[in-house]
Chains A and B, each alone.
Chain A
Amino acid sequence: MPVPKVIGTETEFGINVRNDPDFNPSLASSLVVNSLVDPRLRVGWSYDGESPRRDARRPFTEAFAPDVDGSAANVVLTNGARFYVDHAHPEYSSPETLDPLDAALYDKAGELIAHRAAASATRLLADGQRLALYKDNSDGKGASYGAHENILLDRSLPFGRVIATLPTFLVSRQIISGSGKVGAENGRSATRFQITQRADHIEELVGLETTLRRPLVNTRDEPHADERYRRLHVIVGDATMSEVQSLVKLGSLAAFLAALEADGIDDDLALANPVEAAWAVSRDLEMSTPLPLAGGGHATAIELQWRYLELAEKHDEGRYATVIAEWEGLLADLEVGPERVADRLDWAAKLGLLEQYAARGVSWDDPKMAAVSLQYHDLDPALGLHHRLVARGMLRRLFTDDQVDAATREPPTDTRAWFRGRCVERFADALVAANWDSLVFDVGGERLQRVPMMDPLRGTEALTADLVEAAADAESLVNALGGTR
């Protein structure tokens, strides 16, 4: 049975300090995160119940300790998001959303939040230094960092169905999920430019890892929800800055998974060699390479995406109409060529910029090309080339600046993120810690009060606004919840 597709994104930002090549990335990341929220209002993160080593392929019997550093900077925001240091990067985890448009909006809001934090941190640095953040996935020297997509699945869907179908969808989706990269990495075949930043870092079909031997299907089984659900953790997409692209990247995945849960995805589409195909699709700017299918025959990435679009549309009950229209428009234009989608896809916008730069006589192996590619992702609106293209009207937007700004403060209304965000806004002084599925309050009694939120579809504005907005303080809220739980 299809379950509502709750979506959340995680973005690890690249970090650099201008004029300080010896900066410590972990300390700089802490500086960024701690620059965002007044310490008096800072709500920390609780690691209770986290199980990142739990594997969807086997019963959960082993007790693993979460691999986290409890002292790292880590805040929960009024929009329901988490902003924190993950090893050597600032990371933004968006609040849970239901509509793919909201998922794209809150992903975009994360850029603005991270940029503001970086600008605050820069004021603490020496003159001439700048703390720069990049929404990219590769340093061009073999290190990659992720843009993860999380989507709620029905736990009764056998995970084998995901393993059988998802790789082909994700490999073909690269033509609408890539943000473009100059050159090759990780020992893969040389190329001047490729569609994605991430493909060269994909090494396995299925696995639990996220930092090495990265798989097309990640089996981390950590639902942050009750046992009716699974959280699919997709680690092979690129971080996208184009709003239309983020919508279609996330929305097509959600619509595909809804169709899969309705038993509507054909197995005969499966690629024979998905990992090799991922590298090939990323290098094929004409998008015309026939990819061998497991059951015989061939299909191009565009042909596969047309088929997934048809199947998704057939099983859609109206939720994905906007996504499907944009998806369809992209595929039709991709058939003409990258120049037709430069107003919607980061990789094509970047390719257009680089080709025109090359036409001025800059060679493709000139470091200036890699510098332009990197600078595309700078979050600073004055310096980032994506932002400069948007300011010139070269990329189509879905949201106004005011909508993005509001999303940095206000939570989505139709998931538990609403309850989390509103409690951070109203009761930060009594909120000891928060995480995806609970809030912990100190209301002055002998024991801390833990409020579980195991269902991502509850804790919405419709279900809890009366309680939250009527409560004069955290104690009244906890008492009121005690009466209803």
Chain B
Amino acid sequence: MTDRERIKKRHDEDEVLDDVDAGAEEAPSVAVDSEEVDDLLDEIDTVLEENAEEFVRNYVQKGGQ
């Protein structure tokens, strides 16, 4: 078995254990929860400037490294 296969195998085993642990307590969270993102997008207009085009155009930075 190469190093890479060994590391991947170990990771896969960890993952099985993780899933068991998570399942025992609560539903495992998934990486992208589209409902949460949907809720965030529903309120996006309260966060973004009224005029997105002007906001993006005016974001001009100077003198950076």
The interface of chain A, by Cβ under 8 A from chain B, is 12, 14-16, 18, 21, 25-26, 86-89, 137, 139-141, 143-146, 148, 210-211, 235, 306-307, 309-310, 313-314, 328-329, 332-333, 339-343, 352-353, 356-357, 360, 366-368, 370-372, 374-375, 383, 385, 388-389, 392-394
Given A332-B8, A342-B32, A360-B37 contact (CB < 8 Å): no
Q: A310-B7, A328-B11 are in contact. Are A385 and B64 (CB under 8 A)?
A: no
Listed residue (B33, B39, B63, B65) with the most chain A CB atoms within 10 angstroms of its CB: B65
Q: Show 15 residue pairs from A and B whose CB-CB distance is below 8 angstroms, ordered by the A residue.
A: A21-B58, A143-B61, A313-B7, A329-B11, A333-B31, A340-B31, A341-B31, A342-B31, A352-B32, A353-B41, A356-B37, A357-B41, A371-B56, A389-B40, A393-B36
Q: Are A14 and B7 closer than 8 Å at their CB atoms?
A: no
By the criterion CB–CB under 8 Å, are A14 and B59 in contact? yes
Are the CB atoms of B52 and A367 closer together than 8 Å?
Answer: yes
Q: Inside 8 A of A353's CB, which chain B residues have their CB?
A: 37, 40-41
CA distance A356 to B53 in the complex (A): 20
- Distance of A36 Cα from B64 Cα, bound (Å): 22
Q: How far is the CA of A329 from the CA of B60 in the complex (A)?
A: 37
Which residues in B have their C-beta under 8 angstroms from that of A342? Answer: 31-32
Chain B residues positioned under 8 Å from A366 (CB to CB): 52
Contacts of A146 in B (CB 8 A): 64-65
Q: Which residues of B contact A341 (CB under 8 A)?
A: 31
Q: How far is the CB of A362 from chain B (nearest CB, A)?
A: 9
**Cβ contacts under 8 Å, B52 to chain A:** 366-368, 370-371
**Do A89 and B63 form a contact, CB below 8 Å, given A356-B34, A367-B52, A371-B52?**
yes
Residues of chain B having any CB pair with chain A under 8 Å: 3-4, 7-8, 10-12, 14-15, 29, 31-34, 36-41, 44, 47-49, 52-53, 55-65
Q: CA separation between A405 and B44, bound complex, in Å? A: 28
New contact pairs (10) apart from A21-B58, A211-B63, A374-B56, CB-CB < 8 Å: A86-B63, A89-B61, A143-B64, A145-B63, A235-B65, A313-B7, A368-B52, A375-B47, A388-B47, A394-B37
Given contact pairs A25-B62, A342-B31, A356-B34, A309 touches B48 in the complex (Cβ within 8 A): no
Contact for A343 among B3, B10, B14, B31, CB less than 8 A: B31
Number of A-B contacts (CB under 8 A): 124
Bound-complex Cα distance A370 to B57 (A): 10
Residues of B within 8 A of A141 (CB): 60
B56 touches A367 (CB 8 A): yes
Contact B59 A388 (CB under 8 A): no
Shortest Cβ gap from B53 to chain A (Å) = 4
A383–B47 touching, CB < 8 Å: yes
Choose among A12, A339, A357, A371 the residue that contacts B65 (Cβ–Cβ < 8 A). A12
Residue of B12, B29, B49 contacting most chain A CB atoms (<10 Å): B49
Would you call B36 and A392 a contact (CB within 8 A)?
A: yes
Q: How far is the CA of A328 from the CA of B9 in the complex (A)?
A: 11
A306 near B4 with CB under 8 A, answer yes
Q: How far is the CA of A229 from the CA of B15 in the complex (A)?
A: 40
CA distance A333 to B12 in the complex (A): 10
Q: Are B8 and A87 in contact, CB atoms less than 8 angstroms apart?
A: no
Closest Cβ of chain A: how far from B26's Cβ, in Å?
12
Cβ contact within 8 Å between B62 and A332: no
Q: Are A143 and B39 in contact (CB under 8 A)?
A: no
How distant is the Cα of A86 from the Cα of B44 in the complex, in angstroms?
32
B11 to A332, Cβ gap below 8 A?
yes
B56 and A211: CB pair below 8 A? no
Chain A residue contacts of B10, Cβ below 8 A: 328
Contacts A342-B32, A372-B44, A392-B40; A88 near B8 (Cβ below 8 A): no
Kindly report which residue of chain B lies nearest to residue A218, judged by CB atoms.
Answer: B65
- Closest CB pairs A-B (n = 9): A145-B64, A87-B63, A371-B52, A367-B53, A88-B63, A139-B61, A146-B65, A88-B62, A310-B3
Residues of A near B63 (CB, < 8 A) are: 25-26, 86-89, 145, 211
- Asked whether, in the complex, the Cβ of A15 is within 8 Å of the Cβ of B47, the reply is no
Known: A339-B31, A342-B32, A371-B52. A12 touches B44 (CB 8 A): no
Q: Which residue of A lies closest to B3 (CB)?
A: A310
Residue numbers in A under 8 Å from B61 (CB-CB) = 14-15, 25, 88-89, 139, 143, 145
Residues of A within 8 A of B65 (CB): 12, 86, 145-146, 148, 210-211, 235
**In the complex, chain A residues whose CB is within 8 Å of the CB of B47:** 375, 383, 385, 388
Query: In the complex, which residues of chain B have a beta carbon less than 8 angstroms from the beta carbon of A371?
Result: 48-49, 52, 55-56
Task: Indicate if the CB atoms of A388 and B40 lie closer than 8 Å.
Answer: yes
